[in-house]
């Protein structure tokens, strides 16, 4: 018998539910929140998730029924327990608890960051990689060691995606800013010096964001976008390379929405090439927030008996990946 798990993601802008088995995604339904102005408003995003949760889940259940799977025969319901925006997390957890009780199936809270990592390992040949996880709110370099995903380096302030989005907003570019900045950056090779901040194994982006904003007063959008990317990405590639050297691992996996950026991929690829390491990037649909990654981590936890029960299904907006005991490796 195949194990099948339903997973619900909704830590920020994307509400997405999926059913997976050991081999593949059986079905996925997604409903994305788009802010009318500015960035994500946590309460509005949560209201969006509350409004669409039942339709998304119903559509998903209909779809698996059409594929011959009775929802009662699912093995577990997984959901993003954190990190993320509090109001969004609570909405999704409530939906997951209801579904778990209605179908009488165990509930499994999963760590969103680790879900990004495990889906990447599932959908690429990576086995034991150093992971660069770069999204809106998070920027971390992680690797597995002795029962946990250890954080080797991370941002001391905002995530790289939020830094890009914030700079873009101040430059009058629409949200999300990351892809816009990439577009402008492609049209320049003129580097303007900006603050490169790596402290030990950690990095920081807020000084860079402010300096880039100021640079727009005397330099072109193209040059500033180019220089912003070159600086921020070089900081993260440096830390990733040092994590490779330190751990002795020979694979790098890129995860998270900012991983869509082709220049970041190119820089990591060059670094890996020079060190004789392999570089892996999953398909784009598995990089940004998605329900399949939550379902898949739920499946790994279910199979390794990591089921906490409904009494332990509280959310944690600062849930760290290195707080999780990895029972499935």
Q: Does 131 bind ligand ATP (CB under 6 A)?
A: no
28 alpha-carbon distance from chain centroid: 17
- Tell me the sheet residues that pair with 63: none
Contact 311/20 with Cβ under 8 angstroms? no
- Tell me the sheet residues that pair with 79: 8, 109
Q: Does 261 bind ligand ATP (CB under 6 A)?
A: yes
Contact 75/5 with Cβ under 8 angstroms? yes
The CB-of-105 to ligand ATP minimum distance in angstroms stands at 25
Q: What whole-number distance in Å separates Cα of residue 80 and Cα of residue 69?
A: 23
Q: Which stretch binds ligand ATP (CB under 6 A): 118-126, 134-142, 194-202, 274-282?
A: 134-142
Contact mark string toward ligand ATP, 97..126, x via CB under 6 A: ---------------x--------------
Q: Does 28 bind Fe ion (CB under 5 A)?
A: no
Q: Does 16 bind Fe ion (CB under 5 A)?
A: no
Of residues 71 and 259, the one with the C-beta less far from ligand ATP: 259
Which secondary-structure segment (H or E) carries 140?
Answer: strand 139-145
Return the residues of window 5-34 that contact ligand ATP according to CB under 6 A. Answer: 11-13
Exposed / middle / buried, residue 86 (Cβ in 10 Å: 0-12, 13-18, 19+): middle
The binder of ligand ATP chosen from 8, 64, 130, 258 (CB under 6 A) = 258
The CB-of-293 to ligand ATP minimum distance in angstroms stands at 10
The binder of Fe ion chosen from 27, 91, 111, 135 (CB under 5 A) = 135
Sign of the torsion formed by the C-alpha atoms of 233, 236, 240 and 245:
positive
Of residues 20 and 163, the one with the C-beta less far from ligand ATP: 163
Of residues 230 and 289, the one with the C-beta less far from ligand ATP: 289
Q: Does 240 bind ligand ATP (CB under 6 A)?
A: no
Tell me which of ligand ATP, Fe ion, none is bound by residue 71, counting a contact when its beta carbon lies within the kind-specific cut-off of 5 to 8 angstroms.
none
The CB-of-17 to Fe ion minimum distance in angstroms stands at 15
Q: Does 155 bind ligand ATP (CB under 6 A)?
A: no
Strand order in the sheet with 148-154: 148-154, 139-145, 130-134, 251-255, 278-280
190 token code pair: 């003129």
Cα–Cα distances (Å) from 193 to 139, 143, 196, 211, 233, in that order, read 22, 31, 9, 9, 14
Return the residues of window 277-306 that contact Fe ion according to CB under 5 A. Answer: 289
- Under the rule (CB under 6 A), what is the footprint of ligand ATP? 11-13, 84, 112, 135-138, 159, 161, 164-165, 176-179, 182, 256-258, 260-261, 288-289
């Amino acid at each position: 018998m195949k194990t099948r798990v339903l997973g619900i993601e909704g830590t920020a802008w994307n509400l997405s539910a999926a059913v997976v088995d050991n081999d593949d995604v059986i079905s996925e339904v997604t409903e994305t929140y788009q802010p009318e102005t500015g960035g994500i408003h946590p309460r509005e995003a949560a209201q969006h998730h509350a409004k669409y949760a039942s339709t998304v889940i119903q559509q998903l259940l209909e779809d698996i029924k059409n594929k011959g799977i009775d929802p009662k025969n699912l093995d577990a319901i997984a959901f993003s327990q954190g990190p993320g925006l509090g109001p969004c997390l609570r909405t999704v957890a409530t939906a997951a608890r209801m579904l778990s009780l209605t179908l009488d199936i165990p509930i499994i809270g999963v760590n969103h960051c680790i879900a990004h990592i495990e889906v990447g390992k599932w959908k690429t040949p990576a086995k034991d990689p150093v992971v660069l996880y770069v999204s809106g709110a998070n920027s971390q370099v992680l690797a597995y060691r002795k029962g946990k995903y250890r954080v080797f380096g991370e941002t001391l302030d905002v995530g790289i995606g939020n830094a890009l989005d914030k700079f873009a907003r101040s430059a009058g570019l629409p949200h999300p800013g990351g892809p816009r900045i990439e577009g402008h950056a492609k049209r320049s090779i003129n580097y303007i010096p900006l603050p490169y901040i790596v402290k030990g194994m950690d990095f920081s982006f807020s000084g860079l964001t402010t300096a880039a904003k100021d640079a727009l007063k005397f330099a072109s959008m193209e040059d500033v976008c180019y220089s912003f990317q070159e600086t921020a990405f070089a900081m993260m590639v440096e830390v990733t390379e040092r994590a490779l050297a330190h751990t002795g691992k020979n694979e790098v996996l890129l995860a998270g929405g900012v991983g869509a950026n082709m220049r970041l991929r190119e820089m990591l690829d060059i670094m890996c090439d020079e060190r004789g390491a392999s570089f892996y990037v999953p398909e784009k649909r598995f990089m940004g927030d998605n329900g399949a990654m939550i379902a898949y981590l739920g499946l790994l936890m279910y199979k390794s008996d990591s089921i906490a029960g409904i009494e332990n299904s509280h959310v944690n907006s600062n849930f760290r990946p290195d707080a999780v005991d990895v029972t499935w490796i």
